[in-house]
Amino acid sequence: MVAPGEETRTTTVVYPSPPPKLLSQENGTSNGRKQNLFKQDVKQATGKVDYVDMMLTSFDDFQRSYTPYMLSLCLTLQVKNSKSKQHVFAHGLHRVQHLPCDSPVRFMMYSEAAAAFISLHADNTVCLYKADGHKQTSIAHLPFMGLTATKISGHLVGWGPGPVFTLLNSELDPLDAAHDALDIRVCQAAEHSTELVTAGVGNVCVWSVMLMRCKVRIQEGLQQSTFTQMALAPPRSDRPHRAFAACGQAVTVVDLNAGKVLQHKRDLCSRCVCVHLSIRIWGPDWELRVTFVGHNGKVIIMLLSASVDCTIRCWDMEEGHVIECVHTEPENPPLFIGGNRKGDTFFSFSHQGVDFWTIRTLYTLHCKLKGDKGAPLRQILVSPFPAPYPTRVLCVSGDSDIVLVAAETGAVLTSFKATQRILCADYCLHKEILLALTETGTVLQANTLTNPITLMDGVTEDDVQNLPVPGPACCLVLYSYVAETQGALEEWRIGEIIFISANLIALCLNRFLTILGQSGGCVSVLKMDDGKVFYRTPAHNGQRVTAVQVYPENGYLLSTGEDMTVVVWRVNPYVQECLSKMLSLHCGQPLVYLAALDRQLALTFQDPNSGTYNLMHFNLLNQSQTGYSPVEGHLDHFTGKKNCRKQYMLLHLSVCVCNPSRTLRLNAVPECLVYGGFGGELFLGIRGDLYRMDCAKFLPHIYQQLVTSQLTAWLMDDVGDNLIFKQSYKI
């Protein structure tokens, strides 16, 4: 994320593209076009990233309200307009507004009674901030050190400095004052009752707000303590209501029910808890569980932590590392950060003013996969058929785990664990069959109607007779050609073939072929019903086939090989020789990723010298190529690339949407991605889990209208209209 006041520099590096060489199957001639120049823009951030620290505070409410946000990773969408102005959208903490103050803020909180954020200032003035950002200065002058919301509707309490405990209404008018109060430095509401708990010099007290009377007063053993921070633990069946009060390097545990000190825990930190440079979490027996390290100044609060090092940081509570770091204004560090109970709006204040923040959720955790802990999500596949078929997501994670997920809800439908490492997998929705290729070249077929998935059959090279041995299979893809949609739908609904002559004839028009790329330089086509080889043809000059992709709507297959060529095959599923080579494209260097967008191929290369990436478009109709380099080019490894056929755009990771008027930046490396196809959604693999992003919101307005109005289905009906439309609204 680009912090306010930070600058970015863009450096353009120009270098020659790889010499693409087109070997046409029809004429056998090579393409003698001159090399194109690809531009690669490199963005260098000049902002310095600092690190973190903590103090004791009540984090139960924060953990309950904000942990779902903390578990998400930081994403930035950067948009450049024609004037090269940058607009940054961030997944995570985003500053909404800054409001200067004439007098330094002493205390700030959100009051449900007043339906506003309330700030107390050094000159005893009071300001109210509404949800719309409107600031109102109250006529009231309140000398309190702080305010605490109560569970009595329309009431709150003003406390301190000293023995001050006053009940206020929603208009901040005083209603009643306690006459037996002790010194108060901190005040919190009990989670399980209407009581308030206060702590100060030599005391911890429990208050009845209804009676404005101190119910429990603990002073014995606390004479030498001045408490400035406190956390409350609600009562449980085996533990009383407790307070953890911090004084210097010590924490005192108090039984609030019995009114006695349970424990003094000293020297938990090397310095005062309030100024320690790390965030620490201890277990019930004071064993150190997690240490969050990063801030180089005193930390004000945790989970969302503000520090005098002029940063606000979001923390991953499970991993203990920083998710996001936001830099505030230099020399004006945030002194406190808080929010409302909904967790949708936050505030921070410094000596100079008040800032309001919000958390933007641009993508969300869709499914927590149950694979090996820390195992990457290696493949995501979305079923490509529209309603009434359900949309399902197939995930391959770790070495041998396959999970089938409902795209709409994220629910796990069924799963499969292989005994061998899985190279790749595919899913036939019409037949409810899982296809998986193991590292030994075995093709597994399994029934996805059961949970867990039931293994049906395995096809190996030993099963193939009277054909030359092409070496073990190393890549797999399913070619689904559904010509008779109604019959296929009826078959899918009842889960078996309909034995009626008319339907049986119609269903014979539908073809489901398993296509394998093999290490010996062959492409093989297998029948799904019996696993027998239907057709086999040599490919890629006898060298290893590295990837195969199918596009049934256009009737072709793409294959790439170690001979550094891309081969386009015409597929006719009704004849024995179902594959015919259309053309070969020699790339001149290893291909990183490949995707097709209607009649255009998008190919990704990495320059072996600079390590930067090039993107080339190749038109299958006129066999022309276009060198292309995004304005904000990828500086790290490409981890995936996917076409969005319905919206005519291309996505590739780090992530970028081309033409790069939209750039999405993630603070974690996405392991893979796939476009959902019908709802404008994108599925991402991040740290082994499945995330979902509404991709439509990142499109230009004209494309958002197309997604909303479902015109994309109409656009796919006519190839000629599609090509004209792309030229008119190319992104």
pLDDT digits (tens, 9 = 90+) for 573-583: 999 999 999 99
Q: Which residue has the higher pLDDT, 585 or 298?
A: 585
Contact 417, 436 (CB under 8 A): no
In sequence order, the 6+-apart residues with CB closer than 8 A to the CB of 139 are none
What is the per-residue pLDDT across 40-79, written as a single tens digit (0 to 9) for each?
222 333 332 222 222 333 333 333 333 333 333 333 333 3
Closest CA relative to residue 418, chosen from 394, 392, 443: 443
Q: How confident is the model at residue 553 (pLDDT cuts 50, 70, 90)?
A: confident
Q: Give the lowest-confidence range in 120-124, 208-212, 292-296.
A: 292-296
Share of the chain above pLDDT 90, in %: 36
Q: Is the peptide bond before 510 cis (omega within 30 degrees of 0)?
A: no
Q: Is the pLDDT of residue 295 over 60?
A: no
**Which CATH architecture fits 60-361?**
7 Propeller (2.130)
Residue 156 has pLDDT above 90, yes or no: yes
Q: What is the mean pLDDT of residues 158-163?
A: 95
Average pLDDT over every residue of 416-436: 93
What does pTM read for this prediction? 0.67
With a CB cutoff of 8 Å and minimum separation 6, the contacts of 690 are: 365, 366, 367, 369, 377, 380, 393, 395, 405, 410, 683, 684
What is the average per-residue pLDDT within 189-198?
95
Extract long-range pairs of 252-261: CB within 8 Å, 24+ residues apart. 252/204, 252/222, 252/225, 252/227, 254/204, 254/218, 256/197, 256/204, 256/206, 256/216, 256/218, 257/216, 259/206, 259/216, 259/217, 259/218, 260/218, 260/220, 261/218, 261/220, 261/221, 261/222
2 pLDDT band, cuts 50/70/90, is very low
User: What is the pLDDT confidence band of residue 388, given thresholds at 50, 70 and 90?
Assistant: confident
Q: How confident is the model at residue 223 (pLDDT cuts 50, 70, 90)?
A: confident
Q: Which of 199, 198, 263, 261 is nearest to 227 (CA)?
A: 199
How close are the terminal C-alpha atoms of the chain, in Å? Answer: 24
pLDDT at 593: 84
Token pair in block for residue 328: 């505030």
The mean-pLDDT minimum among 172-176, 262-266, 316-320, 328-332 falls in 316-320
Q: Which residues, other chains included, contact 307 with Cβ-Cβ below 8 Å and sequence gap of 6+? A: 52, 53, 295, 296, 297, 298, 299, 300, 313, 333, 334
* Architecture label for domain 418-586: 7 Propeller (2.130)
pLDDT value at residue 185 = 96
pLDDT for 438-469, tens place per residue? 999 999 999 999 888 888 876 665 554 444 56
| pLDDT score at 5 | 39
Predicted pLDDT of residue 644: 46
Query: What average pLDDT does range 460-480 have in this prediction?
Result: 73
* Mean pLDDT to the nearest integer, 345-369: 86
pLDDT of residue 28: 38
Residue range 534-551: mean pLDDT, rounded? 93
Measure the CA–CA gap between 539 and 516, rounded to whole angstroms: 12
Q: Which helix (H) or strand (E) holds 704?
A: helix 701-709
Q: Kindly state the average pLDDT of the residues 1-8.
A: 36
What is the chain's mean pLDDT, rounded? 74
Per-residue pLDDT, 646: 39
What are the phi and psi torsion angles at 720 (to 5°)? -60, -45
Quick one: pLDDT band at residue 415, thresholds 50, 70, 90? very high
Least confident of 88-102, 169-183, 470-484, 621-635: 621-635
What confidence tens digit (pLDDT) does each residue in 657-676 have? 444 456 666 666 788 888 88
Answer yes or no: is pLDDT of 341 > 60.
Answer: yes
Q: What is the pLDDT of residue 628?
A: 58
Higher pLDDT: 258 or 679? It is 258
What was the pLDDT predicted at 273? 46
The answer for residues whose C-beta is within 8 angstroms of residue 377's C-beta and 6 or more apart is 369, 371, 395, 396, 397, 671, 672, 685, 686, 688, 689, 690
Region 492-509: mean pLDDT is 55
Q: Tell me: pLDDT of 274 over 60.
A: no
Q: What is the C-alpha separation between 105 and 146, in angstroms, rounded?
A: 11
Inform me whether the pLDDT recorded for 288 exceeds 90. Answer: no
Alpha helices in 418-515 (DSSP H): 485-494, 501-507
Every domain of the chain with CATH number 2.130.10.10 lies at 60-361, 418-586
pLDDT at 7: 36
